[in-house]
Chain A
Amino acid sequence: MLELTALTKTFGETVAVNNVSLRIDRGEIVGVIGRSGSGKSTLLRLINRLTPATSGTVSWDGLPIYDLKGRDLRRWRRRCAMIFQQFNLAPRLDVITNVLIGVVAERPLATSLVKHFPATDRARAIRELEALDMVHAALQRAGTLSGGQQQRVAIARALMQDPELILADEPVASLDPMNAEAVMEALKTATRERGIPVLVSLHSLEIARRHCSRIVAMSKGRIIFDGCPSGLSHEEVERIYSGRLAGVTIASHNDLEVAA
């Protein structure tokens, strides 16, 4: 179980994530929605500590994530795989090597440096690619693939990490609708089979409704909705995307007008 408690992140004057508390159980697919700049990406990056938090805590099955250092922190990053909007593959390396990066953290340094991987790892990488229908491109350079294909390779890399949790930061935002659907399906199937919880930020409400078992909406760094997709009424959606908070203070109203 992932537990965020009073999580806050400020960048200078801006509060990107404001006092967020959240619990996520195994098997859930939680969609984080909200306008751009509402703090979705930052929230995800606070969990694997690609971005350091200003205050608050994160724990996984009672393990305090913010106390981890060095090797333990890297082990945590391996256990909660991340998928990025821009795929973040190494474009000049071939697809299978990109997938194998998912196990590199657990293998001897010397052999990894020369890109030598055990046959069992390579077989495993091929199986992960097979499941995502990408095995035909295994020896192609990742940079030569289309966006949708690259994202499926990135999912294979994430699964190679044997993750206990997957963080997906706008995984389909730079894909066309067809590819977006295929990638969301692939992500859902792969994680449902293994019971891996997924925390996925999405800018498309429609995709979130269709693929997520629970939706969390953020506005100005705060969570303003948390519930099942059916609970998202028209009024709720209006509230989320207009940026108006329930019980809004006059100060933040003014901020909104300045921003507009």
Chain B
Amino acid sequence: MSVMSAQTRPVTRNWGLVRGILWTALGLAAVVAMIMDLGLSPKGMAAGFGKLGQFLAAMVPPSDGGDFSRILAALIETLAMALAGTCLGVLAAIPLGIIGAKNVVRNPVFHFIYRRGLDIFRGVPALVWALIFVAAFGLGPFGGVLALAAADIPSLSKLFAEALENGDPGPVEGVRAAGVSPLLELRFGLAPQMAPIMASQCLYFLESNFRNAAVLGIVGAGGIGFELEERIRVFAFDQVAFIILLYIVAVSLLDTASAWLRRTLR
């Protein structure tokens, strides 16, 4: 309500108050209903926090449990999964992105259906792909690699297509005027503009895949996540802490390296 109407018609202020009380009551009722539905009790909450405290205490000091080489190998495997998944995704996304660009395939109907199709697949997270691929190809990093690739392809295709559409048409026309075939127009007119943008996007995806790869390990797709899950099951929290710390260091190292690479690419 504006100040003006509140001054001229004071009745409306009461309405606002009534409405406020009504909404608050409704909100509170919803919260209570949810707590009852989920069976949340203060006793359960206290017990859970108590256990969490015990876990935290068990984490200090972190220890590799004499398995350092195995943990390191798993970490490298995770990085390899992220790299392989990203490469596979990029390889598939390049042609899919070119097809999806408005200035390459000039058919609005095709373009609309194609892009919406990509959007649908973009909604499926890597974890879901991992569950499917682990079921199909068995436990191990292979399913994880495929899952990362499958999750990246729709997003990367869309990004590549948009990068192509935003390219400067001038150089392309310059190449076309030299009597060059469409494929070489792409090679000399568009690709040089695209390469740094696309490389930068690929590095972003490598970073995020390295972070996602740990979660995939937990559903059986190999790597550091697998080691982590094993140790949580046997309550070896000092080793869990060690792996988590090592992983945080590795992730930030990769992020720094990739950020530096992206800067030099510009």
Smallest beta-carbon distance B85→chain A, Å: 27
A residues near B183, Cβ cutoff 8 Å: 109, 113
Smallest beta-carbon distance B194→chain A, Å: 10
Contact A105 B187 (CB under 8 A): no
Contacts known (A77-B176, A82-B177); A90 close to B171, Cβ less than 8 A: yes
B123 at the interface (CB under 8 A from A): no
What's the Cα separation between A109 and B180 when bound, in Å? Answer: 10
Contact A112 B187 (CB under 8 A): yes
Smallest beta-carbon distance B218→chain A, Å: 42
What's the Cα separation between A60 and B176 when bound, in Å? Answer: 19
A residues near B193, Cβ cutoff 8 Å: 90-92
Contact of B173 among A50, A78, A79 (CB under 8 A): A50
A86 at the interface (CB under 8 A from B): yes
B140 at the interface (CB under 8 A from A): no
B196 at the interface (CB under 8 A from A): yes
What's the Cα separation between A228 and B167 when bound, in Å? Answer: 42
Q: How many positions in chain A have a CB within 8 Å of any CB in the partner chain?
A: 30
What's the Cα separation between A154 and B192 when bound, in Å? Answer: 17
Contact of B178 among A86, A97, A102 (CB under 8 A): A102
B residues near A105, Cβ cutoff 8 Å: 178-181, 184
Contacts known (A50-B173, A84-B170); A90 close to B179, Cβ less than 8 A: no
A residues near B180, Cβ cutoff 8 Å: 74, 101, 104-105
B residues near A82, Cβ cutoff 8 Å: 177
B175 at the interface (CB under 8 A from A): yes
What's the Cα separation between A81 and B173 when bound, in Å? Answer: 12
What's the Cα separation between A171 and B180 when bound, in Å? Answer: 21
Smallest beta-carbon distance A156→chain B, Å: 12
Residues of chain A in range 74-102 having any CB-CB distance to chain B below 8 Å: 74-79, 81-82, 84, 86-93, 97, 101-102
A residues near B181, Cβ cutoff 8 Å: 74, 105, 109
B residues near A154, Cβ cutoff 8 Å: 174
What's the Cα separation between A82 and B177 when bound, in Å? Answer: 6
Contact A93 B178 (CB under 8 A): no
Contact of A50 among B176, B187, B195 (CB under 8 A): B176
B204 at the interface (CB under 8 A from A): no
Contact B184 A88 (CB under 8 A): no
Task: Kindly supply a per-residue 1/0 record for chain B positions 53-81, scoring 1 wherever the CB is within 8 Å of any chain A CB and 0 otherwise.
Answer: 00000000000000000000000000000
Contacts known (A89-B171, A92-B193); A81 close to B188, Cβ less than 8 A: no
What's the Cα separation between A101 and B189 when bound, in Å? Answer: 10
What's the Cα separation between A258 and B184 when bound, in Å? Answer: 45
A38 at the interface (CB under 8 A from B): no
What's the Cα separation between A76 and B178 when bound, in Å? Answer: 9
What's the Cα separation between A52 and B125 when bound, in Å? Answer: 46
What's the Cα separation between A40 and B176 when bound, in Å? Answer: 20
What's the Cα separation between A157 and B174 when bound, in Å? Answer: 10
Smallest beta-carbon distance B151→chain A, Å: 30
A201 at the interface (CB under 8 A from B): no
Contact B192 A90 (CB under 8 A): yes
A191 at the interface (CB under 8 A from B): no
A161 at the interface (CB under 8 A from B): yes
What's the Cα separation between A40 and B192 when bound, in Å? Answer: 31
**Smallest Cβ-Cβ distance to A88: which chain B residue:** B174
Smallest beta-carbon distance B203→chain A, Å: 18
Contact A104 B188 (CB under 8 A): yes
A48 at the interface (CB under 8 A from B): yes
Contacts known (A88-B174, A112-B184); A78 close to B179, Cβ less than 8 A: yes
What's the Cα separation between A240 and B142 when bound, in Å? Answer: 73
Task: Kindly supply a per-residue 1/0 record for chain B positions 189-217, scoring 1 wherever the CB is within 8 Å of any chain A CB and 0 otherwise.
Answer: 10011011000000000000000000000
Contact A92 B177 (CB under 8 A): no
Contact of A104 among B170, B173, B184, B192 (CB under 8 A): B184
B residues near A77, Cβ cutoff 8 Å: 176-179
